[in-house]
Amino acid sequence: MEQKILDIKNNALSEIEKAASIKDLEEVKNKYLSRSSELNNMKKSLKDLDPQMRPKIGALTNEVSKFLEEQLQVKYDEFYKIELNQKLQSEKIDVTLDGTYNPIGRVHPLTQTQNEIVEIFEHLGFSLIENQYSPEVEVEKYNFDLLNVPKEHPARDVQDTYYTHLAPNVILRSQTSNAQVRQMQNSRPPIKIISPGRVYRNESVSARKNNLFHQIEGLYVDKDVNFGHLKGVLNEFIRLYFGSARPTRFRNSFFPFTEPSAEIDVQCIMCQGKGCSVCSGSGWLEILGSGMVDPNVLSAVGIDPDVYSGFAFGMGIERLAMLKYAIDDIRLFFNNDERFLKQF
């Protein structure tokens, strides 16, 4: 019996000696010291031994277990240090290396400009209308008919409308003015809204023109709205957008849906009115179209023109951004060149 225990001890010791990793040590421990190990079975069967032998054998098994545990621990500590060092070496981080460059996106200059314009009109009491009243794929009725543009009227050609194959009367809207009509059909005065969005025109692309661009439409209909209100609101818009009161000029114009109509010019931002290449020598820059809503337009949507009146306006967002930031080519907004976009 004694010899057997000593054999176990020696075998275990030589296996501990041979172990090459913490994992090996765990296997040795399991084999010699677990509940089902030979040594433990001996402890359990002490009661079957000759009572005279029991204390001696009992003490010897305990002693051997304890000794093996100690030996395992010593070896374990050694391996732990080695493995930790290896890990520290292999997982070492060089904090002086360059980091990865994660570019942060930014809001597109056109969106920034649109947000700025929207904010100014909200400040002046206008509500932002979302897209449900101004679809980009539109029927002629809302882009032209209800805006007092008769069939065969040259104005339909003036805006070089894109027709689709969906149906003969389905077009890509050429102006955000469709939003006015849809809004008036769906609500009653007082109406005071702005509606931004994309518009399409079949133009040859150049530094000044793109076949897709953005407009903001505005409409104010109530009792007793007059041209003075139009002037007041749009002058205030210009003051807030360009940062100071700039000389403006209301020029007589024509739009089928307004009467009278006016185009508004601001004094040239580049030359302060002296005349330069940006303003073609005139000292003025056109920034928007506007006018008093034509009584025919009100009647067509069931608003009584004898009771209500209104003004409307429409402006190109690209144009306003180009003037404010002195950008000389509209195509820059659509090329997605980071060198351009990063400046905003």
- Binding residues vs ligand DAH (CB under 6 A): 175, 177, 217, 255, 258, 289-291, 312-314
Nearer to ligand DAH, 79 or 250 (CB): 250
Instruction: Annotate 268-295 with three-state secondary structure.
Output: CCCCCCCCCCCCCCCCEEEEEEEEEECH
**Least distance in Å: CB of 177 to ligand DAH?**
4
User: Within 13 Å and on the Cβ side, how many CA atoms surround 88?
Assistant: 6
Residue 48, beta-bridge partner list:
none
**Least distance in Å: CB of 103 to ligand DAH?**
36
Give one word for 152, left, alpha or beta, with left for phi > 0 and alpha for psi -120 to 50.
left
Nearer to ligand DAH, 215 or 267 (CB): 215
Burial per residue of 269-300, b for 16 or more beta-carbon CB atoms within 10 angstroms, e otherwise:
beeebeeeebbeeebbbbbbbbbbbbbebbeb
Identify residue 290 by its one-letter amino acid code: S
Alpha-carbon distance of 55 to 61, in angstroms, equals 10
Extract the tokens encoding 153.
Answer: 């009227």
Extract the tokens encoding 323.
Answer: 């003037």
**Least distance in Å: CB of 111 to ligand DAH?**
20
Among 122, 145, 300, 262, smallest CA distance to 196 is for 122
According to DSSP, the β-strands at 212-222 and 137-139 are: unpaired
- CB distance 158 to 224 below 8 Å: no
Nearer to ligand DAH, 161 or 177 (CB): 177
Nearer to ligand DAH, 16 or 312 (CB): 312
Nearer to ligand DAH, 65 or 161 (CB): 161
**Least distance in Å: CB of 237 to ligand DAH?**
14
**Least distance in Å: CB of 291 to ligand DAH?**
5
**Least distance in Å: CB of 281 to ligand DAH?**
24
- By Cβ distance, which residue is nearest to ligand DAH? 314
**Least distance in Å: CB of 101 to ligand DAH?**
42
Nearer to ligand DAH, 28 or 287 (CB): 287
Among 233, 204, 207, smallest CA distance to 291 is for 233
Nearer to ligand DAH, 177 or 267 (CB): 177
**Least distance in Å: CB of 98 to ligand DAH?**
50
Nearer to ligand DAH, 42 or 291 (CB): 291
Alpha-carbon distance of 20 to 15, in angstroms, equals 10
* CB within 8 Å of 228: residues ≥ 6 apart: none
**Least distance in Å: CB of 175 to ligand DAH?**
4
Alpha-carbon distance of 9 to 38, in angstroms, equals 11
Q: Distance of CA 29 to CAs 15, 40, 300, Å?
A: 10, 12, 94
Nearer to ligand DAH, 197 or 291 (CB): 291
